[in-house]
Amino acid sequence: MAPYFPHTEADVQSMLEKAGLKSLDDLYSDVPSEFLRRGAYHLPDALSEQELRDWLHSLDSQNAHLKVFVGQGAYDHYTPSVIPYLTQRSEFLTAYTPYQCEISQGTLRYIFEYQSMICALTGMDISNASLYDGPTAAAEAMKMSISCTRKKTRVLLSKGLLPHVIKVVETYAKFHGVEIGYVPVMNGQTCPNCLKAELAKDDVAGVIVPSINRYGIVEDHSGFADAIHAEKGLLIEYCDPSALAVVKTPGEWDADIAVGDGQPLGLPLCYGGPYVGFMAVKKDYMRKMPGRIVGQTADKEGRRAFVLTLQAREQHIKREKATSNICSNESLMALWVTIYLSLMGPEGLREVNRLSSDGAHYLYDELVKTGQFEEVFPGKPFLKEFVLKPKKFPGLMQQKLEKAGYFAALDTEEGYVSFCVTEKRTKAEIDELVKIIKEG
Amino acid sequence: MKYYDKLIFELSKEGRVGYSLPKNQFPAAPELPLQVKRTSALCLPEVSEPDVVRHYTNLSQMNFGVDTGFYPLGSCTMKYNPKINEEIAALPGFNGLHPLMHAGLTKGALKVYQEMNKALAAITGMYAFTFDPCAGAHGELTGLMIMRQYHMNRGDLKRTKVIVPDSAHGTNPASAAVCGLEVVEVKSLENGRIDVEALKPLLDDSVAGIMMTNPNTLGLFETQIKTIAKLVHEAGGLLYYDGANMNPLMGVVRPGDMGFDIMHLNLHKTFSTPHGGGGPGAGPVGVAKHLEDCLPDIRVSGFHGNFGVILRAYAYILMLGKDNFKKVGQYSVLSANYIKESLKDLYKLPIEGVCKHEFVFDGLINDGAHDDVPGATTLDVAKRLLDYGFHAPTIYFPLLFHQALMIEPTETESKETIDAFIAVMRKIAEEAAADPMLLHDAPHNTPISRPDETAAARNPILKYQDAN
Amino acid sequence: MSKILEGLKYSESHEWVKAEGNVAYIGVTDFAQKEMGDITYVDMPEEGDDVLAGEEFGALESVKASSELISPVSGVVLAANTELEDAPEKVNEDAFGSWIIKVEMSNAAELDALMDAAGYKAHIGE
């Protein structure tokens, strides 16, 4: 007997009686009998809790427990213990979307705080309550740029965006009927002249560019907003929100939409999810933004209160005319981010960047010194992530690193290898990693 | 629950910190060029760790979850969330796994996907699943992409319409529109089921498929499903199953057997993973064998979907095992019928007969309206329930009934809890008949009373900085 | 009882038209604003946009609903009533005093297809 069913045999009988039914089978009397399954499904036998724990521990131990020196969209930053402790509170964990605001002020308040913090990080006016992940947030921004502009049919993607972002946006665009164009990377950054050439075709609704690109380079977007706005398109910045503590913000670049993945803000790697997509926009586009939004108001006694607002944009009201189909998002992960940013504060977040960047530059310099790599983009600014070109096939090196407990030097499409250093990585680890590579 | 009025920003004091980071052992990296450097201030709170813990603990105490009490929110399947699943999802070998690690490094995680694929196929009668979608609506969109891809692969490019019943979840038409499909609505009959005669003339060669929820959003089984499946397939279309209402069919009926070609499941509903205040969820999409080829082209999330959620659902399936599975469906249906029969003398039941896991009332039979005093509405009943320590049902959905009150108890609530709910619903009906004003003013015992939603929408204050 | 003004033209979707020569002022009726409840936002086209008779030109929003605005006539938008951007409640307070768009009609004969006050009164069953 599984522990999740409170009904006793006597309960079942008395409830059936009240419903005027004789047996549990009668509950399905409206289902054509050919569709009723007799007998058990092809599933495992029930486990006891102890057996379940043992089995999943055994699966857990089949995964490699490595020190992570790779980013590419998923960053191994430190998670303060306060976060899992608080996010496991069942009042947060086992609630749903705050439809009944009078008994959901906890959720509504943290979402309001989350929106405020995302605006602070991005320098934008308005944030929603979260989206699924970074790539889908970029896809939503792609759709939004089409609906915010007139007679424009094409969205441009920088080739510097992370590969998984490009793939998801392409998938959404294909089915949404949006044509995608590409802006190549020259000298390690989205090429301004190529962008201008594409804009001249007069059909561009939006342009998605990475604040920090797939090579880890912090991009210079001087002149991008002016060029795009002159053609009545939208500038969309794809950002690492952790890095926004130190790099120029979408607001400072005069972007119209900022999107990205909140994962670097203390979310565990967890094999790719749950993460949390964020989106923040200029005020002009408030009513075109997808997703839930929380606003401040007052209750009948004049006390500060928070509600889901601007719902006329959403699917449950607009149905096929909605700006997006999203409803459930990643609320608990937004709480995760909110608590992380509360703990870190402005100085903590800057320090995380300092530690990561100092460690990454140290590793970069040490790797170049081994003589086994060519620099790909010498002199270009980067923070925690970079690529190098291995002089020989990197397979053996990667295997050795794995064996020694390191996940590093990830192959890229271009034939480079990618490294990332966060504040979790120590100098001793970096020195050992370099030593393994040096030994060949 | 008590009212607590702080925002984390209001606890901030310059110089306070809530972090502890390692000492910097590295030489300083070169400064970023001014051109790409942030120069604006960063308005984040400066608070200590105890400040943070106390603040969010206080916030949590203004919240109601499944662990707090009965949460009969229709179409959301607010069942109990087993705690062992949380423990497992936090194991370091799962939690610390980088999504770009190759298969040799992620054997345990891959095993979870393989086993889940097998289990969900057994439960639904589908052939294979993709685990990329992060929520139900995301699954719908993915499923519709697969539907379109199937027709494209066959060179059948004129199929651009999708049929959606008027009782459908709002996400159905919205997902179709996002997927570039035109929505054609099919009406329901008086008995709440799809009008097969109205469906027939819609089925031409421009139809990509139909989206259905079965049981539908009224909690009623679509008894004509076999005919509908035959008609749609003969017209060259596909059948999509919205898994939001899968719970009553668990262990009893499989969508694949009913003729559905594509479906999604809401793991946060049917498979007990926590709703998290509105996510993370997971919306894996299953397809019949003839659609398997369409899966690889469709990439809808960054990596492998919400692995942490999939892992919890896997643990749930293992705990239940094959012997208990059927009880999920049966008990969820039993509880719903029990509540329906216990209240239908006081609340309007528009459609008689056995329901599945949920059912819809159309407001009070006696709403207490007299002279100039308006009667108690469904909103009033919902708000009054909060006073008595229950979450409200889903209200004003489906749109077919103007005072819709949609109740879904789930299989994890005891008869005692359900009886207490029934007693309160009866008491509220009496209160409405005697004094509807009491209900108009409800709730009375919650941290806040009804807020001014019109003011919120007219003058949006959407961040702390706007309010100050 | 909803207010209905004589001398205006009415559409089935509850818009009113006040024609002055070739220029039409378009708003929503008192009946429509009552049905919507508290209006929170009026979505309007921009000056210079084309509108077509029978086609959507904007929307009214309340907290729980969104309702399309359908143009009764075809033409070019001369102006949108930007006052409503910050004060959508004006539509609730005075539906006939709050025009939403001003249109230069391309075919004034379209007015003939619309209802007069008596016809609209019958249409809403009051």
Q: What is the CATH number of the domain that holds A419?
A: 3.90.1150.10
Same domain membership, residue A260 and residue A226: yes
Which chain A residue shows the shortest CA-CA distance from B356? A27
Range of the structural domain that residue A175 is part of: 82-338
Task: Identify the pLDDT of residue A321.
Answer: 80
**How many Å is the Cα radius of gyration of chain C?**
13
Task: Identify the pLDDT of residue A1.
Answer: 56
Does the domain made of B83-320 have the CATH classification 3.40.50.720? no
Same domain membership, residue A365 and residue A265: no
* CA dist., res. A370 & res. A385, Å (int): 18
Q: Decide if A317 touches C, using CB distance below 8 A.
A: yes
Q: Decide if A163 touches B, using CB distance below 8 A.
A: no
Distance from CA of B399 to the nearest CA of C (A): 12
Task: Identify the pLDDT of residue B170.
Answer: 87
For residue C41, give the nearest of A312, A317, A321 by CB distance: A312
Residue type, A93: L
Q: Which two tokens stand for residue B310?
A: 């999939």
Residue A38 lies in a domain: no
In this predicted structure, the answer to whether residue B468 has a pLDDT above a threshold of 80 is no
Contact indicator for B286, B131 with CB cutoff of 8 Å: no
Same domain membership, residue A86 and residue A74: no
Residue A46 lies in a domain: no
Same domain membership, residue A370 and residue A312: no
Residue A1 lies in a domain: no
Do A311 and C64 lie within an 8 Å CB cutoff?
yes
Domain boundary, last residue among A281, A316, A338: A338
Question: Pick from B453, B449, B432: which is nearest to B386 by CA?
Answer: B449
Residue A277 lies in a domain: yes
Same domain membership, residue A365 and residue A319: no
What pLDDT digit, counting tens, does each position of B348-386 carry? 999 999 999 999 999 999 999 999 899 999 999 999 999
Cis preceding-peptide flag for B447 (omega within 30 of 0): no
CATH code of the domain occupying B327-454: 3.90.1150.10
* CA dist., res. A98 & res. A59, Å (int): 36
Residue in the block written with tokens 């919306």: B283
Do A318 and C66 lie within an 8 Å CB cutoff?
yes
A319 HSE (CA, 13 A, CB side): 20
Do B458 and C88 lie within an 8 Å CB cutoff?
yes
Contact indicator for A370, A178 with CB cutoff of 8 Å: no
* CA dist., res. B305 & res. B282, Å (int): 7
- Is residue B68 classed as helix, strand or coil in its secondary structure? coil
- Of the pLDDT bands very low, low, confident and very high (cuts 50, 70, 90), residue A312 is confident
Residue A330 lies in a domain: yes
The domains of chain C are located at 9-123
Distance from CA of C20 to the nearest CA of B (A): 32
CATH code of the domain occupying C9-123: 2.40.50.100
Q: Decide if A312 touches C, using CB distance below 8 A.
A: yes
* CA dist., res. A292 & res. A315, Å (int): 10
Q: How far is CA A312 from CA A88, A178, A319, B411, in A?
A: 32, 25, 10, 34
Task: Identify the pLDDT of residue A2.
Answer: 76
CATH number of the domain bearing residue A97: 3.40.640.10
* CA dist., res. B196 & res. B198, Å (int): 5
Same domain membership, residue A213 and residue A199: yes
Same domain membership, residue A224 and residue A271: yes
Which chain B residue shows the shortest CA-CA distance from A38? B252
Q: Which two tokens stand for residue A391?
A: 């002089």
Domain boundary, last residue among A291, A322, A338: A338
* CA dist., res. A185 & res. A158, Å (int): 7
In this predicted structure, the answer to whether residue A151 has a pLDDT above a threshold of 90 is no
- CB contacts of C62 in chain A (<8 Å) are 312
Task: Identify the pLDDT of residue B297.
Answer: 83
Same domain membership, residue A171 and residue A109: yes
Question: Pick from A183, A234, A193: which is nearest to A213 by CA?
Answer: A183
- Of the pLDDT bands very low, low, confident and very high (cuts 50, 70, 90), residue A20 is very high
CA of residue A360 relative to chain centroid, distance: 22
- Percent of chain A past pLDDT 90, that is, above it, reads 94
Contact indicator for B26, A427 with CB cutoff of 8 Å: yes
CB atoms within 10 A of CB A14: 13
- CB contacts of B52 in chain A (<8 Å) are 82, 86, 339, 342-343
Residue A98 lies in a domain: yes
* DSSP state, residue A72: T
- CB contacts of B457 in chain C (<8 Å) are 40-41, 61-63
Distance from CA of B368 to the nearest CA of A (A): 23
What pLDDT digit, counting tens, does each position of A201-228 carry? 999 999 999 999 999 999 999 999 999 9
User: Which of A284-298, A310-324, B261-275 comes out lowest in average pLDDT?
Assistant: A310-324
Same domain membership, residue A328 and residue A410: no
Distance from CA of C39 to the nearest CA of A (A): 11
Q: Residues of B near C (CB-CB distance < 8 A)? A: 396, 453-454, 456-458
Domain boundary, last residue among A289, A309, A338: A338
Do A103 and B63 lie within an 8 Å CB cutoff?
yes
Same domain membership, residue A213 and residue A114: yes
Do A317 and C64 lie within an 8 Å CB cutoff?
yes
* CA dist., res. A6 & res. B164, Å (int): 37
pLDDT per position in chain C (126 positions), as tens? 789 999 999 999 999 999 999 999 999 999 999 999 999 999 999 999 999 999 999 999 998 888 999 999 999 999 999 999 989 999 999 999 999 999 999 999 999 999 999 999 999 987
Which value does ipTM take for this structure?
Answer: 0.98
Q: Using CB atoms, which chains have 3+ pairs under 8 A with A?
A: B, C
Do C66 and A312 lie within an 8 Å CB cutoff?
yes
Residues with Cβ within 8 Å of residue B79, at least 6 apart in sequence: A4, B66, B247, B269, B272, B410, B411, B412
Contact indicator for A245, A273 with CB cutoff of 8 Å: no
Q: Decide if B358 touches A, using CB distance below 8 A.
A: no
Q: Decide if B233 touches A, using CB distance below 8 A.
A: no
CB atoms within 10 A of CB A422: 22
Q: How far is CA A273 from CA A63, B29, B94, B307, B390, in A?
A: 16, 31, 11, 5, 32
- Of the pLDDT bands very low, low, confident and very high (cuts 50, 70, 90), residue A255 is very high
Q: Which residues pair with C103 in a beta bridge?
A: C24, C77
- CB contacts of A104 in chain B (<8 Å) are 62-64, 277
Which chain B residue shows the shortest CA-CA distance from A105? B62
Q: How far is CA B219 from CA B312, B355, B408, C39, in A?
A: 27, 6, 9, 33
The domains of chain B are located at 8-60, 83-320, 327-454
Domain total in chain A: 2
